[in-house]
Structure 1
Amino acid sequence: MTTDLGYTCTCCGERHDELPFAYGAPAPAFWNDSLAGTPGNVLEPERCVLGGTHFFLRGRLVLPVLDAGDDFEWGVWVSVSRENFLRAEELWDDPARVSEPPYFGWLATELPGYEPATLNLKTNLHTRPPGERPLVEVEPTGHPLAVEQREGITLVRVQAVAELLRHP
């Protein structure tokens, strides 16, 4: 998702035509390309299994943007129990999955620009209708990511994220 908001980058001084409002991780932090095609390891667009014992689902961690018409979104991975992973697979195409209680999980994505780190924050994964990624709710603590999810961010913060990712 992007808006038509452009911005002048404080890092390089260039004018960028769009301010992105979404970023995503292609795989859980624990994945590496050498695992591809080996037994017990699967990386799909929405699901991942490592070593046949660690299970991950992809979700949307949404932050309200207080001074814009769009929300900001991190595409993240959450480590869930085997039981919840199998339950999610069982209900993958079932509209009734929206009635599922949230699945407890651990954030399995290291988001840039947060201190302390975001890896292994406690989360709840809320299922959505088929075809929609689950919503990820960070445990309401004092961690900066949890505070941003609870209280929202501003366009200045969205631009800071864009600059951080454009100029790591």
Structure 2
Amino acid sequence: MNTDEFACGTCGSTHSGPPLSFAATAPDVWLPDMADDEGCLLDSDLCVISGERFFIRGLIELPVWDTGDVFAYSMWVSLSRPNFTRAVDVWEQPGRETEPPYFGWLANTIDGYEPTTLNLKTMVHTRPVGQPPYIELEPTGHPLAIEQRAGIFRTRVEEIASFHLHRP
């Protein structure tokens, strides 16, 4: 089989890929009509809701052992006001990767994981300017936390892709 294609476990067709990332466009609590509300902001990296809830986008990375790739979920984490303010203050600052990690809560449900991924404890590690933060999940027995620590294989990437490519 071509390594740029995989047989979909959902529809049986051959797709290009598998994709090595899936992304949430916003935290689960964000509603499209909030875009016009005062104190609300959603851009590609930051989100504020009513001037009271603060979110940052980062990557949950899973090493893919048999290919050497990294599979990533681009997700949102809620931060405290002080941590969010600090993250924004150093956003364009060279050397920001030396910042201590920020505690946060995963703000997205990633379908296909039980129990839910919503509100998993995280540490958000800032990386050099231009790179999204790294989201480290608390090392628990949650399946996603285990996959982050232990890594996955291409067959698992194909399972994830087959599942997510056919979601509404």
**TM-score normalised by length of structure 2:** 0.95
The corresponding residue for 2:48 is 49
Which residue of structure 1 lines up, in the alignment, with residue 67 of structure 2?
Answer: 68
- TM-score computed with the length of structure 1 as normaliser: 0.95
Residues 134-166 of structure 1 deviation map (CA, whole Å, 9 limit, x = unaligned)? 000000000001100000111111111111112
- What is the distance in 2 between the residues matched to 1:111 and 1:33? 19
Unaligned runs of 5+ in 1: none
Does residue 130 of structure 1 match 2:147? no
| Farther off after superposition, 34-43 or 117-126 | 34-43
Q: Which residue of 2 aligns with 1:58?
A: 57
What is the CA deviation profile of residues 15-51 of structure 1, one whole-angstrom value per residue up to 9, with x for unaligned ones?
1122101111110111010111111111011000011
Q: Secondary structure at the match of 2:69?
A: coil
Aligned residue in 2 for 1:163: 162
SS at match of 1:19: coil
- The separation in 1 between residues aligned to 2:9 and 2:46, in whole angstroms, is 37
Q: Give deviations 1:56-103, integer Å, cap 9, x for gaps.
A: 000011001111121100001000000011101111111121111000
Q: Percent identity over the alignment?
A: 49
Superposed, which structure 2 residues align to 1:84-163 within 5 Å? 84-163=83-162
Structure 2: where are the runs of 5+ without partners?
none
Pairwise CA distance, 1:53: 0.5
Distance across 2 between alignment mates of 1:128 and 1:141? 24
Partner-residue secondary structure (3-state), 1:49: strand
The alignment yields a C-alpha RMSD, in angstroms, of 1.2
Per mean C-alpha deviation after superposition, the further-off stretch among 70-79 and 91-100 is 91-100
Deviation for aligned residue 1:4: 4.9
Deviation at 1:131, TM superposition (A): 0.9
Q: Looking at both structures, which has the greater relative contact order when contacts are Cα pairs under 8 Å and sequence separation is at least 6? A: 2
Q: Which amino acid aligns with 1:144?
A: P
